[in-house]
Amino acid sequence: MLNIILLGPPGAGKGTQAARLEKERGMIQLSTGDMLRAAVAAGTPVGLKAKAIMERGELVSDAIVSALIGERLDEATTSGAIFDGFPRTGHQAEALEILLAQRGRTLDHVIELVVDEDALVRRITGRFSCAKCGAPYHDELKLPKVAGTCDICGSHDFKRRPDDNEETVRTRMAEYREKTQPILPYYDARGLVRRVDGMAPVEAVAAEIDAILDS
């Protein structure tokens, strides 16, 4: 059973690749961003704490996100887990080690998606999704085939993430540089980091990740 981390700044393609791996390999995508957005939508105590922090593009507390991962980790018993957007700080990296060790599991790969920041701002501010089925679209890269109608479910409702405006994206990038990038040497020292060109087309990124997982 593989345990892998997908690491990279906002818009690097972590969610795109994690969702694909879940579909194609039956692995479980553990995205703290998705878990937090679900908590915000449901109005849970965690969601109420996280909402304003996420809208500013800052990081939610280590204790909250580590607890969310702990609650979901046992779902990935045989199929393996993809950590998408977690860990993002040194404390979260330590928490993950403990959570895995408690289950007799270890990390196999930390896959860093290497990307160009300015191109990412364009990627993120242009993205939107179907409000009903979640199918992803983009203003420049992938519009629905029929304007205003979801290709997958036919819905006419679309939504954008409240943190996908340029100002918040810049804060999210800065948070990544200051708090998340510094955890890479910790994994590098253990020989776990594999680097993938995240600016390549989605299929090429997928092929590189598959080659790592099959190696």
**Sites of contact with ligand AP5 (CB under 6 A):** 8, 10-16, 32-33, 36, 53-54, 57-60, 65, 85-86, 88, 92, 123-124, 127, 136, 138, 141, 163, 172, 198, 200-202, 205
Residue nearest to ligand AP5 (CB): 33
Is 127 in the active site? yes
Residue environment code for 173-189, b if the CB has 16+ CB neighbours within 10 A, otherwise e: bebbeebbeebbebbee
Is 161 in the active site? yes
Nearer to ligand AP5, 35 or 80 (CB): 35
Is 88 in the active site? yes
Distance CA 32, CA 11 (A): 15
Residue environment code for 134-151, b if the CB has 16+ CB neighbours within 10 A, otherwise e: ebebeeeeeebeeeeebe
Question: Shortest gap between Cβ of 35 and ligand AP5 (angstroms)?
Answer: 8
Is 105 in the active site? no
The catalytically annotated residue of 14, 51, 123, 194 is: 14
The catalytically annotated residue of 161, 170, 179, 195 is: 161
Catalytic residues: 14, 88, 127, 161, 172
